[in-house]
Amino acid sequence: MAGKTFTNYPTKTFGVTLFIRQSENPANNAGQTRFDLSSGQREYVGYGDSVNIYLNGITLASVSDGAITGEQEFVITRGSSLDNRLGR
């Protein structure tokens, strides 16, 4: 199983979804892991299995002041800037 440590510096709570890659091809999906991260919280999150250790994407969403704010990023090419950041 793979994993990463996430730290939330903003003052909002975020819902986070990690999209796990099946094998090495970004076109393949091996599922998702979802968790919440409160303001100031630091948490180690495990995902995938012994074969599926790479991430294909991440989404962040926060609800505050009557609005939903979010961002999503997905890998489409191996070796891209995002692929390298998620693979660390």
pLDDT score recorded for residue 25: 92
pLDDT tens digits, 30-75: 999 999 999 999 999 999 999 999 999 999 999 988 999 999 999 9
Using CA atoms, how far apart are residues 48 and 1, in angstroms rounded to an integer? 5
Please give the residue range of the domain that contains residue 66.
2-86
CATH number at residue 77: 2.60.40
**Cβ neighbours of 64 (radius 10 Å):** 10
Nearest to 55 by CA among 45, 40, 69: 45
Domain tally, the chain: 1
Using CA atoms, how far apart are residues 27 and 75, in angstroms rounded to an integer? 9
